[in-house]
Structure 1
Amino acid sequence: MDPERQQVEAFPLKEHDGPPGGPALVQYTTVNISSEPPRDHIIWSLLSFLFAPPCCLGLAAVIYSIKARDRKVVGDMDGARRYGATARGINVAATVLFCILLISVVVLCFLQPYTAGVILGAFSRKLI
């Protein structure tokens, strides 16, 4: 809702304040409703699922993101906010673990290239 287009309701405080036909006191009430939909973080969850697979946190984040989107479609905004917040927390954990893993691999490659080659070579042979 635009702040410029807020609805204003007017009603008299007292019906008989002053002489009949005189000015009446009017109280104005403004209601601000947050129309911002809850976020489901589906893109971040999909990226966590594809690129940060430690402990399958990306899969859990995708599941909670889908639940948040479903709750939003149904109209349960509180449930969508809860699921979205859980998905965000899982995505943060997956991203932090991925960064730690990436930094440790880079440090290992620069500090001990022979050991890193042996470890990464053994890992790549298991994948093939």
Structure 2
Amino acid sequence: MNPAGYPPETVPLQGTYEGFHGQPGGSTVVQYTTVSVPPEPPRDHIIWSLCCFLYSNPFCLGLAALIYSIKARDRKVVGDMEGARHYGSTAHCLNISATILVSIMIVIFIITICTVSVQASYAYHHYSSYDYRNRG
């Protein structure tokens, strides 16, 4: 089993090895062979797409990601791994975009709420100390 025609690697062990009955043995050669690992099946990111669709769906990116995830799963079932990889990659990009947009919108919302509450507190304290009886 020698993939791609590469010669096997041989590595001699250093030092001496005493074999049976205390007699010195010669050098030992260990042979390593590379084993080909089957490629990982393409990912469809269906769970992430469902979460983006249900919880964070800005500009319908979550829906588009869900559609591409389902297409990727269908392509994988049919056996078209390249098509599944393409649809899965598109779903991955759409999920990232949806997650980043929702994160930015949440941060902007929190900053806006904090700013409005500070301004309202300032206005309340400023106008509550105004004395209407001494206007004239």
Normalising by structure 2, report the TM-score. Answer: 0.60
| Partner-residue secondary structure (3-state), 1:112 | helix
Q: Which of 59, 66, 73 does residue 62 from structure 1 map onto?
A: 66
Consecutive unaligned residues of structure 1, counting only runs of 5 or more, are: 1-7, 10-28, 116-128
Superimposed CA distance per residue, residues 55-93 of structure 1 (whole angstroms, 9 cap, x where no aligned partner): 000000000000000000011111100000000000000
1:20 paired residue number: none
Identity between Structure 1 and Structure 2 (%)? 56
Consecutive unaligned residues of structure 2, counting only runs of 5 or more, are: 3-32, 120-136
Shift of 1:35: 3.3
1:39 paired residue number: 43
Counterpart Cα distance in 2 of 1:89 and 1:99? 15
Q: Counterpart of 2:59 in structure 1: which amino acid? A: C
Q: Which of 85, 88, 98 does residue 89 from structure 2 map onto?
A: 85
| Partner-residue secondary structure (3-state), 1:34 | coil
Shift of 1:33: 4.6
Q: Counterpart of 2:67 in structure 1: which amino acid? A: I
Normalising by structure 1, report the TM-score. Answer: 0.64
Matches within 5 A, 1:1-128: 8=1, 32-113=36-117
Counterpart Cα distance in 2 of 1:93 and 1:47? 13
Where in structure 1 do 4 or more consecutive aligned residues deviate above 4 Å? Answer: none
RMSD: 2.1
Counterpart Cα distance in 1 of 2:38 and 2:101? 34
